[in-house]
Amino acid sequence: MSESFDAVDIIRIKRDRGTLTNEQIDWTIDAYTRGVIADEQMAALNMAILLNGMDRAEISRWTAAMIASGERMDFSSLGKPTADKHSTGGVGDKITLPLAPLVAVFGVAVPQLSGRGLGHTGGTLDKLESIPGWKASLSNAEMMDILRDPGAVICAAGSGLAPADKKLYALRDVTGTVEAIPLIASSIMSKKIAEGTGTLVLDVKCGSGAFMKDEESARELARTMVDLGKDAGVTTTALLTNMNTPLGLTAGNAIEVEESLEVLAGGGPSDVVELTVALAEEMLAGAGVRDADVAGALQDGRAMDVWRRMISAQGGDPDAALPVAKESHVVTADRDGFLTELDAMKVGVAAWRLGAGRARKEDPVQAGAGVRMHAKPGDRVSKGQPLLTLLTDTPERFGRAGEALDGAWRIEDAAPASLPPLVMDRIS
């Protein structure tokens, strides 16, 4: 067949800081999906977009073209509102696990399509797969049944949702263009809009352990995604949250499930509870549910009841023992004082090197591997006191994990005057 445009012409437009038309964008996404545009040509276009950007209309159309490459889900037959959350990825970020059942307590269905970890950021599906029997892949019919009751599902996105994104994401990952804000925003939002949720809350991480290291770029990403949601008719808000320090006291898979269960039992680290409650309140407000006693539903066991039913509905055993790493190594404080810094990126890389994460998407992960933290910034520590416990099944990994932790923390004589807020801003 005769093609409407030529890939080289499209590349030149963005190279020269021009603006692509709707027709050019539609053709580009379709032609790449069909294999008419070669990987090296799309890599050149991605780099031009990284360097020169896109305007709001271009990003919106690019996102719409990615959605149009596949199917769209429809939850209107559920008879109740739907809300979803997306995090841009961090270290110790297990928030989805307690959050989905918590929101479902209040009659809002949560179709949480999640992914696997890559590099230093953990994956929700990897965490949940440490629960014996639990399965990530569900048919659309199975997903709908679970959304009716117990009302929350956490599963892998089907291959039919935005297939163009799957191909584009793999290319961005190996060509140094992951950080392009138009491409990040359209990648995330094409899947979330195609998923069909009525309300979407974005947790946009900012800091050393996030993809967006500085507040300015995190804010730009949040604003871009909120605009894309608005353009598509999805109620969308974003919370800008701090990722200079890991969330909670664990970074791994099974150990993060364990910590999530503490939160669902009414305990757990204060930062994990704070962010879970904040995101739940945003999701419920977007779905029209106000004045819900969100914290109370964690304390009184209602969220835990939904969790147990949700895990059982996906084949998991909520009472089964979680995997435990075979080997451990304790890292201690070298002086008395106050912990003033614990670098999220360095802890995340250490957990990854211990086997909790993967370098390539086909790599296996160890369920029990990771890092336990025994202190957080602001805590007083004593010389010889455990700061971190490294966990793995393969002790030869301790060396490189230890190297990743070089300079990961700072202990000073005085406590920090104040700690930065966890939730930095709300963008709507």
* CATH code reported for the domain at 76-157+193-313: 3.40.1030.10
| Higher pLDDT among residues 263 and 173, named by residue | 263
pLDDT tens digit sequence for 359-398: 776 778 999 999 999 999 999 999 999 999 999 999 999 9
pLDDT tens digit sequence for 348-362: 999 999 999 877 767
What is the gyration radius of the CA atoms in the chain, in angstroms? Answer: 22
For the cut 80, the answer to whether the pLDDT of residue 226 exceeds it is yes
Six-digit token pair at 108? 């809002």
Distance CA(12)–CA(395), nearest Å, equals 51
Mean pLDDT of the chain: 95
Task: Report pLDDT for 122.
Answer: 75
How many Cβ atoms sit within 10 Å of the Cβ of residue 87? Answer: 25
Instruction: Name the β-bridge partners of 201.
Output: 85, 237
Written as one string, the DSSP assignment of 260-315 is HHHHHTT-S-HHHHHHHHHHHHHHHHHTT--S--HHHHHHSSHHHHHHHHHHHHTT
Nearest partner of 201 among 176, 177, 229, judged by Cα: 229
pLDDT tens digit sequence for 242-268: 999 999 999 999 999 999 999 999 999
Predicted confidence band of residue 229 (pLDDT cuts 50, 70, 90): very high
Task: Report pLDDT for 391.
Answer: 98
For the cut 70, the answer to whether the pLDDT of residue 118 exceeds it is no
Predicted confidence band of residue 178 (pLDDT cuts 50, 70, 90): confident
For the cut 80, the answer to whether the pLDDT of residue 137 exceeds it is yes
Say if residues 349 and 120 touch (Cβ distance below 8 Å). yes
Task: Report pLDDT for 358.
Answer: 78
Q: What is the dihedral of CA 402, 404, 406, 411, to 10 degrees?
A: -90
**Which residues are the active-site residues?**
86, 165, 172, 187, 191
For the cut 80, the answer to whether the pLDDT of residue 275 exceeds it is yes
For the cut 70, the answer to whether the pLDDT of residue 341 exceeds it is yes
Write down the H helix ranges in 69-180: 96-104, 124-128, 140-148, 163-174
Distance CA(318)–CA(308), nearest Å, equals 6
Q: Domain 327-412, what fold?
A: Aldehyde Oxidoreductase; domain 3 (3.90.1170)
Task: Report pLDDT for 276.
Answer: 98
| Higher pLDDT among residues 115 and 212, named by residue | 212
Kindly state the average pLDDT of the residues 105-118: 89
For the cut 90, the answer to whether the pLDDT of residue 100 exceeds it is yes
Task: Report pLDDT for 31.
Answer: 96
Kindly state the average pLDDT of the residues 150-174: 88
Task: Report pLDDT for 79.
Answer: 94
Predicted confidence band of residue 119 (pLDDT cuts 50, 70, 90): low
| pLDDT > 90 fraction of the chain, expressed in percent and rounded | 88
Kindly state the average pLDDT of the residues 121-146: 93
For residue 239, give Cα distances in angstroms to 20, 39, 83, 88, 417.
31, 35, 15, 11, 25
For residue 368, give Cα distances in angstroms to 101, 365, 391, 416.
24, 9, 7, 33
Kindly state the average pLDDT of the residues 181-209: 95
pLDDT tens digit sequence for 34-69: 999 999 999 999 999 999 999 999 999 999 999 999
Distance CA(199)–CA(206), nearest Å, equals 23
Q: Which of the 8 DSSP states describes residue 37? A: S
Task: Report pLDDT for 116.
Answer: 78
- In the chain, domain spans: 76-157+193-313, 327-412
